[in-house]
Amino acid sequence: GISYGFVFYRPRPATMEAIRKRIAEQPKAFLKLIRDTEKATGIPVTADLYKRPKEAPIPELAPFYAWKGNISCVRNEEVSPALFGPALGERACTLIEQLIPLYDYFNRFKTT
């Protein structure tokens, strides 16, 4: 099969803290970003979770305060004839274009 999409791989704890701070400062914008991304792609935005989540400032943010890292929105396709042809490139391109706002949001927090 094949997997393609967005993964914010292993962000540092300080990076995740900065993300939580930004989410708390602008919760409506963040929640809209997540809703819009999931609606456009048909794929949930997920992440690895803390066993004991951080305390969220408002209940709507609780699921995102549980995020530990590896934030992702990835399409997985099983092996089938659909993998072998130009349509795969078109599907991947469409998904990547739909993920640009999510990428742009999290890219602001990337540290080396």
Average pLDDT over the chain, rounded to an integer: 94
Give the residue among 4, 7, 11, 13 at the shortest CA–CA distance from 102.
7
Q: Which residues contact 24 (CB under 8 A, 6 or more apart)?
A: 56, 57, 61
Mean pLDDT of 30-50: 97
Confidence (pLDDT) at 71: 97
Tell me how far CA of residue 62 lies from CA of 17, 55, 97, in angstroms: 14, 7, 28
Mean pLDDT of 23-41: 97
pTM: 0.90
Confidence (pLDDT) at 61: 97
Mean pLDDT of 54-81: 95
Query: Is 80 exceeded by the pLDDT of residue 112?
Result: no
Confidence (pLDDT) at 111: 62
Predicted confidence band at 10 (pLDDT cuts at 50, 70, 90)? very high
CA distance 14 to 37: 25
The number of angstroms, rounded, from the C-alpha of 45 to the middle of its chain's C-alpha atoms is 4
